[in-house]
Amino acid sequence: MALYLCLHALPSAITKRVDGLDLRHHVYVEHLPSRDSMRTTLYFSAVERELLRGSNLHGATEEREAGWRQEWGEVVSWTTDEEVRKELTFDLWLWACTILSLYRHVRISGEQVFNTYGAKSNEELLLGYGFVLPSNPADFLALKLSLPPSAPACLLDLLSKLKLDQLRHHVPQSGEIPPELLAQMRLLVAQPDELDAVIERASAAASWQEAVGFVSWENELDVLDALEGMLVSKLQALQQGAVADKLDGVRPEVLEMVQIYRQGQTKILQAAVTWRQTVFEQTMDKAEEAGVSIVYEDDMEDIDEEDEEE
């Protein structure tokens, strides 16, 4: 479909060279947004893309561009006519792919066309559509859990068996961490004997909640410690890339959109940090009520120092 759009945008003298080519949607294509009007992040200049550094959107933009460049390269390699190959630039391919992203659900019926975006975060809106909403009720923070290369095969099998192999999660504006992410982290930080116990429970469990809804109080606190590191790291990266009110070479509308996006992400991360701290304190209280004595490394160091002094 992207190639079909591109062919409509090529000079007629070029497309006439292709035998059997039937391009019947010129009127429709002529009314599509132009390349100059695009404001998605793939149309950001190099300076403007730097405004995204430290955010999820920086990597997402590079990943999408790499994918579309690969597709474009494959299509160009199939094209045998040299003149068509010259005209079929990545700039044109980028425009066509962006149009398809904008209007993927549209059907041509001879009447006025309306498009609905649905409930999307500002990250999705800016990446795919080129705008953000200052007060977006559907905004969220995307968190992706990375599995270590050394993760044992039994862990990967367990994640798949429990249907916990989706590693990308959405954190709402309340900051509450998705329970599926917490379950995955319980498995990642579990001790060998704890993991064996989960595997045994999973063989008869009807859901992941039965198998890994809780492992141990020590495990739960380890999860919350690891979660703190993850959230603080992302928050620091986002804050270090804070955007000034005015920058040379940056379009004002782009600057405003990026500021709104980053502010929203920062607020959600701060809410998540607060949520984690609350849950951590509650978990400590529950562990003590259960008669579990939790000793941290810092506490052990203090004890060792006291012993040495004696």
State which residues form the domain around 209.
141-305
CB 54 within 8 A of CB 241: yes
- Name the residue among 10, 33, 25, 27 with its Cα closest to residue 97: 33
| Contact predicate 162/212, CB 8 Å | yes
- Residues comprising the chain, all counted: 310
Query: pLDDT of 195-219, one tens digit each?
Result: 999 999 999 999 999 999 999 999 9
Give the percent of the chain with pLDDT over 70.
88
How high is the pLDDT of residue 300? 47
Residue type at 13 in one-letter notation: A
Where b means 16+ CB within 10 Å and e means fewer, 250-260 reads beeebbebbbb
Reference 208, options 230, 228, 229, 186; nearest CA is 186
- Whether residue 109 is predicted with pLDDT greater than 80 in this model: the reply is no
More confident residue, 120 or 85: 120
Question: Does 117 score more than 80 pLDDT?
Answer: no
pTM score: 0.86
Domain edge (last residue) among 79, 100, 128: 128
In this structure, are 174 and 230 located in the same domain?
yes
Indicate which CATH number applies to the domain containing 288.
3.90.1420.10
How high is the pLDDT of residue 112? 59
Whether 242 maps to a domain, the answer reads: yes
Please check whether residues 100 and 44 belong to one and the same domain: yes
Give the range among 10-14, 59-63, 73-77, 189-193 with minimum mean pLDDT: 10-14
Decide which of 103, 128, 153 is a domain's last residue. Answer: 128
Residue 134 inside a domain? The answer is no
Token reading at 49:
């893309």
Residue 257 has pLDDT above 60, yes or no: yes
Instruction: Supply the DSSP symbol for 141.
Output: E
> Within a domain: residue 133?
no
At residue 150, the 3 state secondary structure works out as: coil
Same domain (yes/no): 163, 299: yes
Give CA–CA dist 171/271, Å, rounded. 10
Same-domain pairing of 15 and 120? yes
Same domain assignment for residues 171 and 293: yes
